[in-house]
Amino acid sequence: MVKAVRVHKLGGPEVLTYEDVELAEPGPGEVRIRNHAIGLNFTDCYFRTGLYKAPALPFIVGHEGAGEVVAVGSGVTGFHPGDRVAYYLNLGAYTTERNAPADRLVKLPDFITYEQAAVLMLKGLTTFYLLHKTFAVGPGHRILIHAAAGGVGSLACQWAKALGATVIGTAGSREKADLALANGCDHVILYREEDVAARVKQISRGELCDVVYDGVGKDTFQGSLKSLKRRGLFVSFGNASGPVPPFNLAELNTHGSLFATRPKLADHIVTRAELIEGADALFAAVISGTLHIPINRAYALKDAAKAHTDLESRITTGASVLKP
Ligand SMILES: NC(=O)c1ccc[n+]([C@@H]2O[C@H](COP(=O)([O-])OP(=O)(O)OC[C@H]3O[C@@H](n4cnc5c(N)ncnc54)[C@H](OP(=O)(O)O)[C@@H]3O)[C@@H](O)[C@H]2O)c1
């Protein structure tokens, strides 16, 4: 038996149930991992509420974690008990121990802690593909990143600044705005008080942005479109305020022949080579000092409901981890 946080029926944070769960021996090609840290993600909330569909009930919540290998299944080469590893996988992370396919694991360099790795696998890899694959951010670009003091936002602002872009962030409070500035934002818009597009226009002297990264969704979508320059790219990668409502495709035309994409990590980190490329880039960014991993809160795994409540109440900043 292991301890895990499962969802038996969809709903609010109260449906997260900390309980004993059977865990089989690792199958062929699998390893068993004892989690030392698990990443907390808004995506976990979408699965809990049913906005994103889990294949079946009950399911173990969570997508990213890091720990040590405690057993290996048949046919596994290259991984041994004691190895420090991390993973991004669809569900199954909120647990003391789990099995995982060996080919989806990344070995951790000594200088990366379990806590850092547990944050880098989903939030970090997402930041990697958004800034390098969805749009290759570089010098001369002006970009807008919503929720700049959040988990993905704080990583994205740091990295985008290091890539040479002018970074405009949005934040929900003055305290978060200060964090966003510390994360490398050149300008921060208090989007609960200010008109985002008007401020972007003012900041950019009318030139607007090359790309907008929008993980907030419903509340920010219109302002995002209006903040883009002609032929700019709208990247809608999340729904913290709710999903973007259906809209008329012609709006992309009205706002200046815009491009739009709704990307997800599973389509950008598909092959093992892509996983290793992304992880290596992240580890290099940490060792070079480009990326500081802001782990601002740690919760006991059994307190996952409190962690979800805090995340959805906009209390958290940066990244949070769950500790088994
Ligand atoms: N597509 C992908 O591949 C992918 C992968 C990973 C994550 N994501 C998405 O990235 C986004 C950020 O994820 P995260 O885990 O790092 O979360 P997070 O940014 O740490 O938390 C979400 C933030 O969104 C802001 N927000 C705005 N309106 C909100 C509302 N009505 N309710 C709650 N929060 C609101 C809050 O910041 P303020 O208080 O500053 O407004 C809040 O802190 C999420 O939408 C997530 O789904 C997408």
CATH code of residue 6? 3.90.180.10
Residue 312 resides in a domain: yes
Task: Tell whether ligand 1 has an atom less than 6 A from the beta carbon of residue 122.
Answer: yes
How confident is the model over 280-291, as a mean pLDDT? 96
pLDDT value of residue 251: 96
Asked if residue 130 belongs to a domain, the reply is no
Query: Would you call the peptide bond into 246 cis, given omega within 30 degrees of 0 as the criterion?
Result: no
**Same domain? 285 vs 191:** no
The residues pairing with 66 across neighbouring beta strands, listed in sequence order, are 37, 86
Q: Whose CA is nearest to atom 9 of ligand 1?
A: 238
Predicted pLDDT at 108: 98
Q: HSE (CB half, 13 Å, CA atoms) of 92?
A: 16
| Cβ of 169 below 6 Å from ligand 1 | no
Q: What is the CATH number of the domain that holds 170?
A: 3.40.50.720
**Pocket flag, ligand 1, residue 151 (CB < 6 Å):** yes
Q: What percent of the chain has pLDDT over 70?
A: 100
Q: Which of 211, 245, 262 is the last residue of a domain?
A: 262
Count of domains observed in the chain:
2
Scan for tokens 């997260």, then name that residue: 16
* Coil, helix or strand at residue 123: helix
Mean per-residue pLDDT of the chain: 97
Pair 158, 244 in one domain: yes
Q: Are 40 and 322 in contact (CB under 8 A)?
A: yes
Are residues 78 and 50 part of one domain? Answer: yes
> 186 has which bridge partners?
none
Q: Do residues 157 and 251 share a domain?
A: yes
What is the pLDDT confidence band of residue 94, given thresholds at 50, 70 and 90?
A: very high
Q: Are residues 34 and 71 in the same domain?
A: yes
Q: In this structure, is residue 126 part of a structural domain?
A: no
Report if residue 128 sits inside a domain: no
Region 283-291: mean pLDDT is: 96
Residue 146 CA to ligand 1 centre (angstroms): 8
Distance 113 CA to ligand 1 centre (A): 24
Residue 179 belongs to domain spanning: 139-262
94 lies in the same domain as 159: no
* Ligand 1 geometric centre to CA of 130 (Å): 15
Tokens of 316: 């958290």
* pLDDT number for residue 104: 97
* Same structural domain, 218 and 289: no
pLDDT at 116: 97
pTM: predicted TM-score of the whole model, two decimal places: 0.98
Beta strand ranges found along 49-88 (DSSP E):
59-60, 64-72, 84-88
Residue 127 belongs to some domain of the structure? no
- What percentage of the chain carries pLDDT values higher than 90? 100
- Return the pLDDT at 260: 98
181 in the same domain as 116 = no
What separation in Å is there between the alpha carbon of 302 and the centre of ligand 1?
A: 23
Cβ–ligand 1 distance for 174 under 6 Å, the answer: no
pLDDT at 315: 96
Give mean pLDDT, residues 99-103: 98
